[in-house]
Amino acid sequence: MQTIEGGICAVPGVRAAGVRQGKYGVALIAASGPAAGMFTTNKVRAAPLDVTAEHLQAFGHLDGVIANSGCANAYTGPRGLEDARKMTGLMAGFLGTDQKKVAVASTGVIGRYMDMALIGRLFDEAKTRLRCDPDASAEAAKAVMTTDTRLKEIAVEHKGIHVGGIVKGAGMIEPNVATMLCFLYTDADLTAILLKECLKDAVKDSFNMLTVDGDMSTNDTVLLTSTGKVKCKVDDFYEALRYVCIELARKMARDGEGASKYFETVVIGAKTEQDARLAAKAVANSSLVKTAVFGADPNWGRIICAVGYSGAAMDPEKISLGLEGMDGLEVSLVKRGRIVDGVLDKAKEIMKCDTIFVKIDLGLGDAKARSFGCDLTREYVNINADYTT
């Protein structure tokens, strides 16, 4: 697996562009081929998701994507659906394709109508910039950022297959899927059905194991499109796709709103994979664990507590717990249900690291899982206390 430059434009034939004006931005991506998508499970689902899901069901094929930041177009009723369709119409007209071969995605404030005049102006500017260039991928990613503080993109080449992705998301992140817009591209020659199967499995181990604040968005969207230029084995493609999705999930956790530290919870020895996932997510979701990470407090009892209420099968007498920081610094806190004495000072040093691994062995089986999270800081409160103002 080789990481390469260029984001989605590392995939030959993918063109992108993006422009911003204040809080509003428009991103355009053009590439033709079979496609698949996954969306929020929130019952309040934004209009663009309904339109995109309808389009994917009709053809299983995309020629382009149009996305905006600044307005979620969620809880906007018939007008919201009309605006989402207008956006796909703009892109379809520009590309000379069927409107149902264009996807639309939005992110921003819920319960406000789109400024379609502004969207139109930004679209007109963006379409003149559409190109296959590494800078274009970054431009598109930046155009849909909201409270994000950094660009999040990645591309890999694996056995001749290219997979690239860009993602936005920093807050209201609690899968399924996560508060995010993610656009993935590949040149693997696979059908829409196979793309959907691979995407579903990759998302399960990446974005669905990511949490920043426990809130689920109305707009979560992950889209995967293939140009179909490279013959390949499904397993080889899946390996590359899974890697890209996990790395993007890590980037999102590191850029969680107000986050100062990243932590990954690795659970092994679970009776079932579901148990491992439940335990890992409970630790990542715990506000008490998050604040302990922020304060560099080695209060490991909060971790044990989270595992206990997670719903995972566990035996307090069999659990082992440790921490790992940078440069190989690690410590065992609990071994097979027994507290390890004299290690809190070392644990505190690890908790000061900006990257921390929480390692849990449930001692009940062979299943494993990992989750991706960040600390909970005062800055998170500041960001979200006046988000609409």
Phi first, then psi: give them for residue 47, nearest 5 degrees.
-55, -45
Choosing from 179, 186, 227, 265, the catalytic residue is: 179
Q: Taking 80 as the threshold, does the pLDDT of residue 378 lie above it?
A: no
Q: What is the pLDDT of residues 90-120, one digit of tens each?
A: 999 999 999 999 999 999 889 999 999 999 9
Long-range contacts (CB closer than 8 Å, 24 or more residues apart) made by 88-95: 88/51, 88/55, 90/66, 90/119, 90/120, 90/123, 91/28, 91/64, 91/65, 91/66, 91/123, 92/63, 92/64, 94/64, 94/123, 94/127, 95/30, 95/63, 95/64
**Average pLDDT rounded to a whole number, residues 75-93:** 98
The model scores a pTM over 0.85: yes
Average pLDDT score over residue span 215-234 = 90
Domains and CATH numbers, the chain: 2-254 (3.60.70.12), 262-385 (3.10.20.340)
Dump pLDDT digits (tens) for 292-350. Answer: 999 999 999 999 999 999 999 999 999 999 999 987 899 999 999 999 999 999 999 99
The answer to whether residue 225 is catalytic is: no
Q: pLDDT for 264-303, tens place per residue? A: 999 999 999 999 999 999 999 999 999 999 999 999 999 9
Asked if the model's pLDDT at residue 237 lies above 80, the reply is yes
